[in-house]
Amino acid sequence: MLTLEWESEGLQTVGIVVIICASLKLLHLLGLIDFSEDSVEDEIELATVRHRPEALELLEAQSKFTKKELQILYRGFKNECPSGIVNEETFKEIYSQFFPQGDSTTYAHFLFNAFDTDHNGCVSFEDFVMGLSILLRGTVQEKLNWAFNLYDINKDGYITKEEMLDIMKAIYDMMGKCTYPVLKEDAPRQHVETFFQKMDKNKDGVVTMDEFIESCQKDENIMQSMQLFENVI
């Protein structure tokens, strides 16, 4: 069972870590963490799927993965998603398998929207690779930009208390009974207040990307979490 200490100091770290952990769970489901190099063919088979990914050379240039790593990623992606794309319902089903003790539906919705960068209602292999490239191999600035985009639900360039509350409620719902100590009903709102006290520098009621990044970079826990999952693949 997962165990988290939900204390007022450094609570914003939880959201950052959950973003990366949730992505690792997706990798695990696709069979991409425990893989054998001997099972990887020299070239991936692209003709059997309805959605053809961009040329490996282009994805290799755009991402931080090698061609061999992209082959491994694509093989797992194709096995679980023969059509070459993942819709939101499939995404929700994936996370429900890893968080059976809670309700991951809302968080999976927010995470899906973060991966679906062109907002066409599906996550392609290219979307998947670029998101993972940032979360697992990106610079601290890139990872924090990605996290900010997740929290900025309406994509207007600001995080409001309402948006942060929606994300925090989704995280608490997803963790369910796996939190310790048992959460109080107003815990998400208290988390949001702590978040804004620390990050809303000019006290205008919203957090900009600059404020978000500056505060995160000064937080030792968040900076350590940025290093935890590098070179997973």
Distances from the Cα of 111 to the Cαs of 69, 170, 219, in angstroms? Answer: 23, 11, 23
CA distance 85 to 208: 32
Sequential pLDDT tens for the chain (233 residues): 343 433 433 334 444 445 555 555 555 554 444 434 444 343 444 434 445 555 778 889 999 999 888 888 888 788 777 888 888 998 888 778 878 888 989 999 998 999 898 889 998 888 988 988 998 888 889 989 998 999 999 999 999 999 999 998 888 888 775 554 555 667 788 888 988 998 999 999 999 999 999 998 888 877 877 766 565 55
Both tokens assigned to 14: 């939880």
In sign, the C-alpha dihedral spanning 217, 223, 225, 227 is positive
pLDDT score for 159: 96
Phi and psi, residue 208, nearest 5°: -85, 170
Both tokens assigned to 25: 């769970």
In sign, the C-alpha dihedral spanning 9, 170, 176, 174 is negative
pLDDT score for 102: 86
The number of residues making up the chain comes to 233
122 bridge partner residues: 87
Amino acid identity for residue 23 in this structure: S
CA distance 188 to 203: 20
Contact 182, 230 (CB under 8 A): no
Both tokens assigned to 11: 């609570």
Both tokens assigned to 126: 């290219």
Contact 102, 10 (CB under 8 A): no
Distances from the Cα of 69 to the Cαs of 30, 63, 199, in angstroms? Answer: 14, 11, 37
Q: How many CA atoms lie within 13 A of 23 on its CB side?
A: 29
Range list of H helices, the chain: 12-29, 56-62, 67-80, 88-98, 105-115, 125-137, 140-151, 161-175, 187-199, 209-217, 220-227
User: pTM of whole model > 0.85?
Assistant: no
